[in-house]
């Protein structure tokens, strides 16, 4: 069986050592020493001043929305994981979908201005598959109309834009460290901001709003993460360069194995130093896509339709026409890509696709 992704697992002895420390301290959660160490190491590695480790990438988006005080309309992408949209609705905001660019799979800045009205407060954009949005264009619009910008950078560990870590852009960037992501803490997420006051607000919010044991600074939620998750993050961090390097090798191997496959590929945004986290391919039609998927599945190979369906078709949002997103969603597959995917497996997957193309 070849799944679309498989979590990286560090040598068990290395995780075990962290567990022994945790056992000896009996400090399991609530801002423990490993959480602190993990936050520090992430900031050092990514050259970021402000970062909070939270319990998942969905809570990270919700904290960002709450901390910025956003309550009304948010301009967003229909081509992302469902958490991007559901977080907005969960927080009582109204998602306003703007279609994507057909080649980058990211929100099309040229179409943002036409949906801006009095109630528009923010833009929530996903850097899809680790590919930077047209950040310059988005920021110019945000400035002109006084909108906040949140980036859902869940796919972006290891991506830089114009020479800087991509988590440094926007009022707040969020990420996910879920086990399916390129860098993970089993479950986990993070918020980054250049604004120390916003970070402080989210730090209170992450801990029920506590400001001392009997004191509350404001409304909060439980967004904390545990020592066990921080331990996995610390153990994995040691291998992140290896993980990123292997991912690039695999990505380029698919490129050469699949040179003759008739598919469209994602265009990487200029200025992006990309992390190669996913291998999306877009077939000529939905029919061909489904045929390819079935042929792979017959051989116990499980690509995923990331992202299908378009989020503009969810039953809890206002129906919006997003033809480009719908079209890409109907024709896209992400091929298996994970640290211990073997050359033979990549060859097998490629053979199945090429053989089917000629049938």
Ligand X SMILES: *Cc1c(COP(=O)(O)O)cnc(C)c1O
The residues of the shown chain that bind ligand X, judged by CB under 6 A, are 56-58, 80-81, 83-84, 126, 152, 154-155, 176, 178, 189
Residue whose CB is less far from ligand X, 85 or 350: 85
| Core vs surface per residue 94-113: b (16+ CB within 10 A) or e | bbbbbbbbebbbbbbbebbe
Q: What is the C-alpha separation between 293 and 181, in angstroms, rounded?
A: 22
Q: Is the Cβ–Cβ distance between 262 and 357 less than 8 Å?
A: yes
Residue 144 neighbours by CB distance under 10 Å:
10
What size, in residues, is the chain?
A: 359
Residue whose CB is less far from ligand X, 155 or 247: 155
Residue whose CB is less far from ligand X, 258 or 280: 280
| Minimum gap (Å) between residue 117 Cβ and ligand X | 26
Q: Which residue is nearest to ligand X (CB)?
A: 57
How would you classify the pairing of strands 164-165 and 160-161? Answer: antiparallel
| Minimum gap (Å) between residue 130 Cβ and ligand X | 10
| Minimum gap (Å) between residue 340 Cβ and ligand X | 21
Report how far Cα 250 is from the mean position of its chain's Cα atoms. 20
Residue whose CB is less far from ligand X, 58 or 131: 58
Residue whose CB is less far from ligand X, 135 or 353: 135
| Minimum gap (Å) between residue 82 Cβ and ligand X | 8
Q: What is the C-alpha separation between 338 and 357, in angstroms, rounded?
A: 25
| Minimum gap (Å) between residue 192 Cβ and ligand X | 14
* Distances 79 to 41, 99, 103, 315, 332 between C-alpha atoms, Å: 32, 8, 12, 16, 11
């Amino acid at each position: 069986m070849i799944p679309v992704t498989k979590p990286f697992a560090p040598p068990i002895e290395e995780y075990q050592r962290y567990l022994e420390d945790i056992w000896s301290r009996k400090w399991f959660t609530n801002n423990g020493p490993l959480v602190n160490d993990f936050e520090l190491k992430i900031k050092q590695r990514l050259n970021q001043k402000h970062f909070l480790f939270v319990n998942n990438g969905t809570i990270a988006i919700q904290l960002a929305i709450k901390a910025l005080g956003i309550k009304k309309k948010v301009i967003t992408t229909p081509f992302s994981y469902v958490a991007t949209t559901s977080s907005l609705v969960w927080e009582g905001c109204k998602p306003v979908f703007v279609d994507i660019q057909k080649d980058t799979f990211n929100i099309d800045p040229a179409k943002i201005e036409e949906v801006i009205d009095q109630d528009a407060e923010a833009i929530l954009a996903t850097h899809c598959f680790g590919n930077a949005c047209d950040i310059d264009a988005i920021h110019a619009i945000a400035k002109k109309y006084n909108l906040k910008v949140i980036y859902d950078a869940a796919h972006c560990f290891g991506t830089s834009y114009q020479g800087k870590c991509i988590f440094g852009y926007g009022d707040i960037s969020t990420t996910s460290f879920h086990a399916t992501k390129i860098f993970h803490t089993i479950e986990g997420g993070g918020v980054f901001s250049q604004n120390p006051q916003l970070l402080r607000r989210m730090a209170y919010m992450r801990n029920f709003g506590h400001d001392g044991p009997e004191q509350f600074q404001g409304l909060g939620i439980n967004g904390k993460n545990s020592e066990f998750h921080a331990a996995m993050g610390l153990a994995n961090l040691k291998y992140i360069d290896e993980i990123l390097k292997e991912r690039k090798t695999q990505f380029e191997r698919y490129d050469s194995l699949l040179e003759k496959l008739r598919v469209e590929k994602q265009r990487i945004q200029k200025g992006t130093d990309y992390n190669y986290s996913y291998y999306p391919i877009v077939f000529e039609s939905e029919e061909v896509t489904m045929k390819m998927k079935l042929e792979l599945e017959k051989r116990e190979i499980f690509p995923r339709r990331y992202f299908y369906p378009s989020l503009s078709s969810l039953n809890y949002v206002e129906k919006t026409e997003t033809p480009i997103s719908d079209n890409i969603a109907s024709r896209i597959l992400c091929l298996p890509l994970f640290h211990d995917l073997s050359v033979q497996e990549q060859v097998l997957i490629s053979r199945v696709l090429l053989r089917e193309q000629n049938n």
